[in-house]
Structure 1
């Protein structure tokens, strides 16, 4: 199971007119030597993250194919994926059921309900909510969605790279944070087509893709990072590993301190409030883990902003 560049192209057609085109802004000249660096402000996307693209592609595909059941879609997620699924379903008047743990923050549960989702709180951990969602799908015929490990979800995420390349046709490198690998897969499938190198950045203690690359296979990892709420997948997808090999992507790790500093810098210098996961890609450049060459054109993806900004304004 994987995706191709053609899948990204098909996704671009489905999401056109529904998603917000990404805004790119240049970093001050000289910040990274002679490199020309732009920030891709995808955190301004509907529902506050790139995941709206994949969720919309998933929903639109099944509607066009006539495979959307009366029961609609179901997903287990109290985070960005659940919000995106609920939003995409609402855009097309499709029922959405979202299973979350009983421990899910009330603010996220309230957001899901405002989007029209039927929220079911089950168990104390994600695994229990996932099992309940699978049982619900089997009993009702609802279409099971996934936070990242699905070709339609990954292809939808890849539409972001298409927009970046259209705005920066001479782009050399794209830097992207990696959790489960859906965004990385889509970005890399499109970037490889345009001969753009991909730099994948993960927290030191949330390194599912990095571990898979080193081991030569997908494997479970421990998760312990300030960015774990969005990048804390215990294993990457087979699609992500395959594309990492195909495109010879660079896999880098950054510390939690570097992530914290990058998030703080975005607020202090630009008044941008992003989640720790979104600051992870920029942390690679600011910490010196990745040093762009003089003349290199680089895009750094800031992928989400579903965060509590109170720690930034004090």
Structure 2
């Protein structure tokens, strides 16, 4: 959503930005406006604006769906988008973009060259180029996505995997937080944390509280889940790189007060990563170094 907001913001401020460009002559402005009319640019700008808003609406709804897909979240997302669309409707996108195009074309084309373009676009070949240009761009983008997309995704996956291997605690911590957030949401609705082992959490958390529950840490070992007898406290544990749980890491220790205990940092990646009641209790020292940087 942030990217789309940037696009819209860029459109909104384009006029003052282009004010720094050399002013087009009256003849250049006249020729560019004629050229834009020949190219049906008004219709193109309208379609672009509609596409941006449609994508933004999808982003609003996707965000609500990612948070659990509750009806109230979806309704709130629709309300927020409607308010955004109403306010954004006050922006003269067509006027701003037309002025931007006038200045851009005037920057790169002389009056004589603009006249040549206008003459060309009035010919059958010029008119055809206007008609098929959107299709050429679309098919070019589709071809690029089809041919390059999988290769780029593979490269990105390889880079991500390499980075993960270098810093396995990061993904492990992220996955533990995701599972814990789902547990906390469950507890809000039920006033207790669920019983059972980690594998059993799937049946109570998916899909209401999380789309997909992380099953293993970055070393490929299953997480452990422990809940206190009164179901008021929980713990999620990764066995670390050696897959062996510390002798006491799966024992719930009820805090003596409401203050969050200090995190214990361990020098070895073999030591367990322990998370209890919304905070980490034990982490590798590398995690502290991440925080310091």
Under a length normalisation based on structure 2, what TM-score does the superposition of the two structures give?
A: 0.24
> Is the radius of gyration larger for structure 1 or structure 2?
2
The higher-RCO structure (CA 8 Å, 6+ apart) is 1
Structure with the higher strand share, 1 or 2: 1
Under a length normalisation based on structure 1, what TM-score does the superposition of the two structures give?
A: 0.23
Structure with the higher helix share, 1 or 2: 2
